[in-house]
Amino acid sequence: MRRFRSVLAQFCIVAVCGVLLGAFAMQFIGAELPCPLCILQRMGMMLCAAGPAWLLCRAMQGEVDARDYAQCYGLSILSALLGGSVALRQVCLHIAPGDPGFGEPVFGLHLYTWAFIVFITVVLVSGVQLCLLPSRAERLPIGWTARASVGLLILVVAANAVAVFFEEGFHLYLVDNPTQYQLLEDLNPAPDATKSPDAP
């Protein structure tokens, strides 16, 4: 059972990172810039993955008990509720008949709908983990896969931070429908933008 709990925690991190990498692929390969709500959903997913990552980090430093499990998966459930609220709002924004939705659908569903499914799954998996709490402190088996999954999460968060910085630039908020990387636009403004409106 100890191994199952460890594998489930690693699976949660890798699954969430896989979804985030898929969104990254849509951004760079599909050339679809994420909207502010998409970015908020990414933040929610990272906070969800931080719960099992924290459990693994605690297990790397010694024994973990029921309190550690409860704190880490409680953190995931709270984050899933926040991220799920954002995804549900975006679903509701495009729920009217005839609305094409935001971005291209993947396997028939838009990314925000998939995000909502991911958040519901996080709540379910966290609930399962909380049902399987150990009765006493235990040492989880931590191998290279556990370290690699935490490392993957760090890489995904760092890559998103850089990508969002390019998209947002030095502005306080993202625009509602981004069409370009604002930082590149600010550093290299288009020739038309530098002209005065009064110029001939």
Partner 1 sequence: MDTLIFLLILSMILAMLKGRQRLAWYLFVASFLATALLFSHHATDALGISL
Closest CA to 83 of 57, 54, 109, 51: 51
Judge whether 34 and 23 are in contact, CB under 8 Å.
yes
Q: Please, which residue, 15 or 53, has the CB nearer to partner 1?
A: 53
- Which secondary structure element, helix H or strand E, spans residue 49, and what is its range? helix 36-61
Number of amino acids touching partner 1 (CB under 8 A): 34
The window from 19-27, 123-131, 137-145, 169-177 that contacts partner 1 (CB under 8 A) reads: 169-177
Neighbours of 170 (CB within 10 A): 8
Among 12, 20, 54, 111, binds partner 1 (CB under 8 A): 54
The alpha-carbon radius of gyration of the chain (Å, integer) is 20
Judge whether 166 and 42 are in contact, CB under 8 Å.
no
Q: Please, which residue, 1 or 162, has the CB nearer to partner 1?
A: 162
Q: Please, which residue, 11 or 195, has the CB nearer to partner 1?
A: 11
Compute CA distances 117 → 25, 30, 75, 108, 122, whole Å.
Answer: 19, 22, 18, 13, 9
The window from 35-43, 111-119, 124-132, 136-144 that contacts partner 1 (CB under 8 A) reads: 35-43
The window from 14-22, 25-33, 110-118, 162-170 that contacts partner 1 (CB under 8 A) reads: 162-170
Residue ranges of E strands in the chain: none
Among 20, 23, 53, 80, binds partner 1 (CB under 8 A): 53
Does the footprint of partner 1 cover residue 115 (CB under 8 A)?
Answer: no
What whole-number distance in Å separates Cα of residue 46 and Cα of residue 171?
Answer: 23
Residues forming contacts to partner 1 in the complex (CB under 8 A) are: 36-37, 39-40, 43-44, 46-47, 50, 53-54, 57-58, 61, 75, 78-79, 82, 85-86, 89, 150, 153-154, 157-158, 160-161, 164-165, 168, 172-174
